[in-house]
Structure 1
Amino acid sequence: MNYLAIVGSNADKSTNRMLLKYMQKHFEKQANIEICEIKNFPVFDESDITNVPEPIKKMVESISSSDGVIISTPEYDHSIPAALKSVLEWLSYVSESLYKKPVMITGASHGSLGSSRAQNHLRQILDSPEISARVMPSSEFLLGHSLLAFDDNGYLSDANKVKELENDFSQFLQFSDEVNQLMKKHPVKRTGHQLWELNK
């Protein structure tokens, strides 16, 4: 499996980035995980939608060629960061790359709730008609007190959290395979969505 993992923060220091890097190493024998940064992505601007930024074009290509997407989000004021929302707005306006695409949501936060409310908002956004991703159900990996969660080598310190993440990722491997097989057998042509042309 080849997955694109999106760091849902534009911060220079992010425990969500650390979480995805840990997953990249920990699951390297099960899947190839490519990490995508959104730090330098421009803010979504509907008035200039025909001039699609190069980072967005590259992300669209990476998502389209992947078997699934992993998004790790922090929680700012009970929701996802503006930078992540902006990227999703770009994707929904200029591509269908997330349509029916398997998505796994994870999240790390400095507080005790581990980005639970942000993850709920992200699910709602990904389920919107403009995006229509296939988010893995009945699973949420919440890493609270994330500043204390990693050792000096970037590994998760809590063995119970490691087991929980392993179980969630195992489910995602199966979920993404099933969704992709279903889409190959029964492709669905999208209708009623205004898709802007990407500048080649």
Structure 2
Amino acid sequence: MKHLIGLVGTNSSQSTNRKLLQFIKANFQKEATVELMEIKDFPVFNKPADSVLPEIVQEAAEKIEKADGVIISTPEYDHAIPAALINALNWLSYDVYPFVDKPVMITGASYGTLGSSRAQAQLRQILDAPELKARIMPSSEFLLSHSLQAFDEDNRLKDSEQIEKLSGLFADFLVFVDLVNQLVQAHESNKKEAANFSWENI
């Protein structure tokens, strides 16, 4: 059975994106295990000169490295992903490169009508950066709008059409994970490129 990381893309304790990942974990437990990962305790990124990473970052990087894939659920603040998520990705691409060639599925929940669509587009761009080089599942947006009203008392999605769509995307992601994890020939070279990349040399 595949093991996935569900990355909660916010530091909010009341986030519906956490609820969405909790639903995914419970609803698809027969297909894969999903381990939720929090970023709320990551320190502010400061590019340490000694390249020594905080323990929480190192542990997160190791878990992502070992996982078969990652699901990131992001809210949208001012047409963008939260600063906390950017901060986490900054850490997870500094002297560690767990996202290189890692299969990633992006989801998102927001209080409004657009379901974090702009934030998801921005996140795709960030994950394609030379220091991250993630393998992002294409054409797979899951946009949960009006997320405050989307869950019942048992933390299940109310809308059967949303559940059907999410089920299809999750099944596709498991296939995508299998496909991506066969593309290993250039993995070590890709990791070296990420580690050696410097914007100062461009």
1:7 aligns with 2:8: yes
Q: Which runs of 5+ in 1 are unaligned?
A: 196-200
The one-letter amino acid of 1:92's match is S
CA offsets 1:11-40 (integer angstroms, 9 cap, x no match): 110100000000000000000000001111
What secondary structure, in the 3-state scheme, does the structure 2 residue paired with 1:163 have?
helix
How does the TM-score come out when normalised to structure 2?
0.92
The one-letter amino acid of 2:87's match is S
Partner residue of 1:78?
Answer: 79
1:160 aligns with 2:161: yes
1:69 aligns with 2:70: yes
**Identity score, percent:** 51
Deviation at 1:172, TM superposition (A): 0.3
1:23 aligns with 2:24: yes
CA offsets 1:130-183 (integer angstroms, 9 cap, x no match): 110000001100000000000001000000000010011011000011100222
What secondary structure, in the 3-state scheme, does the structure 2 residue paired with 1:181 have?
coil
Deviation at 1:71, TM superposition (A): 0.3
Once structures 1 and 2 are overlaid, which stretch shifts more, 28-37 or 186-195? 186-195
Distance in 2 between the 1:125 and 1:104 partners?
14
The one-letter amino acid of 2:5's match is L
Distance in 1 between the 2:39 and 2:49 partners?
19
Once structures 1 and 2 are overlaid, which stretch shifts more, 92-101 or 14-23? 92-101
Deviation at 1:187, TM superposition (A): 4.0
Distance in 2 between the 1:161 and 1:18 partners?
14
1:111 aligns with 2:112: yes
Partner residue of 1:36?
Answer: 37
Deviation at 1:48, TM superposition (A): 4.6
What secondary structure, in the 3-state scheme, does the structure 2 residue paired with 1:121 have?
helix
Distance in 2 between the 1:174 and 1:78 partners?
31
Distance in 1 between the 2:130 and 2:159 partners?
38
Distance in 2 between the 1:133 and 1:148 partners?
32
- Please give the residue correspondences for 1:143-158 in structure 2 after superposition, counting only pairs within 5 Å: 143-158=144-159
RMSD after superposition: 1.4
